[in-house]
Chains A and B, each alone.
Chain A
Amino acid sequence: MAPAGVRNTSEMEIGKDSRVARIALELKVVLEQEASILSNLLELMHAERELLIKFQIDNLSEVNKNKELLVLQHSYIDQGRRKLTGRLAEELGSDEDPTLSLLIGSLEGKTASSLSTTAENLRQLVQAIQKMSAENCHLIEASLQSVRGTLAQIERRLLKSETYSINGVITQELSKLASLNARA
């Protein structure tokens, strides 16, 4: 029979393991919720890309609204994730603001592998979103140049001003539009 002090320490260890497992499970649930939101966000970004390619800017407004909603939802859920991460870090005795890899490294067995799978899924989603975001930003910039060039052209016609400046240099907005058309 183990001495009382040893038993107490062991019980404390078991209690700690149990708490860590419970917090890790909660963290996994929250991370899966975040993954679900990011997956929806990625779908919206694909839709955004299609709209930008087809230059259907009017429908982009709806996509913007839905994206904004998802970003807000993610932000709200991520606050919960931070609290859980803090609690888990405290239980594990690690940094106050650890990375997920560090936390997984401090965990054992099933809990660690389960969190690891979720983490990998999240990383892939984040990478895909970042890539798609960069591509869409490029398309948005091209669309903006086209819209601004057209605007400049119409406004110049209304104001009866010239396409070229006094020095014979084509104006900046029209120049951008021309380069855009050449690229297309």
Chain B
Amino acid sequence: MRIGDKVLASVVARQMQPERKRSEEAEATSSNAPPEKTDGSEEDSQKVRDDASLSQKALSEFDRLLAERNQALEGKETDIKDSKDAELLANQLKDVMDSNSQAVISGLRSREYVLQAAAQLNKNLLDKGFVDFLA
């Protein structure tokens, strides 16, 4: 579950709790207490006002949740961007390391050639004819 979804679920659960409580209370009242004699139109208008208030609250909550969700998503985008940067850096580091290794290899190869040349030269320092002449 994504961060935004988690937040949305918890807020909706919170929002649902008082409404459920209210309906349970209403049920309990209707079953235990005798019905009050109220003016029906006033009751209706009160109910409408409550519903409207509730809707307004839900709407505000929804807006807040939406804002939270958007914020969470933005954070995720930052994470994704950071991750891309890290990958880029890792690639750059690998390139530098490869380049350094190549430079070391090239230096070692150059030393190998110098040593091979020295070995070759040492084998042919003195002409055999000259050495035989001195014998």
Q: Which A residues fall within an 8 A CB radius of B? A: 34, 41, 48, 57-58, 60-61, 63-64, 67-68, 71, 74-75, 78, 81-82, 85, 99-101, 119, 122-123, 126, 129-130, 133, 136-137, 140-141, 143-144, 147-148, 150-151, 154-155, 157-158
Contacts and interface: CB of A to CB of B under 8 A. Distances in A.
Contact of A133 (B105, B114, B122, B134): B122
Contacts of B112: 144, 147-148, 151
Given A147-B112, A150-B108, A154-B105, A71 B121 contact: yes
Contacts of B118: 48, 60, 63-64, 136, 140
Contacts of A136: 118, 122
A126 B121 contact: no
Interface stretch (B6-14, B42-50, B81-89, B124-132): B124-132
B114 A78 contact: no
Contacts of B98: 158
7 contacts: A60-B118, A81-B130, A144-B119, A147-B111, A151-B105, A151-B108, A158-B98
B1 interface: no
B135 interface: yes
A119 B135 CA distance: 10
Nearest to A140: B119
B76 interface: no
Interface string B91-135: 000000010010011001101101111110111111101111111
Contacts, number: 90
A137 B105 contact: no
B57 to A, nearest CB: 61
B contact patch SS: helix
Given A48-B118, A155-B105, A41 B125 contact: yes
Contacts of A78: 127, 129-130
Contacts of B130: 34, 74, 78, 81, 126
Given A61-B114, A122-B134, A129 B108 contact: no
Given A85-B133, A122-B134, A126-B134, A143 B125 contact: no
A60 B86 CA distance: 44
A155 B112 CA distance: 15
Contact of B129 (A68, A82, A144): A82
B117 A64 contact: yes
A140 B127 contact: no
Ordered nearest first, which 8 A-B pairs have the shortest CB separation? A57-B111, A140-B119, A133-B122, A144-B115, A151-B108, A147-B112, A61-B114, A60-B114
A92 to B, nearest CB: 15
A151 to B, nearest CB: 5
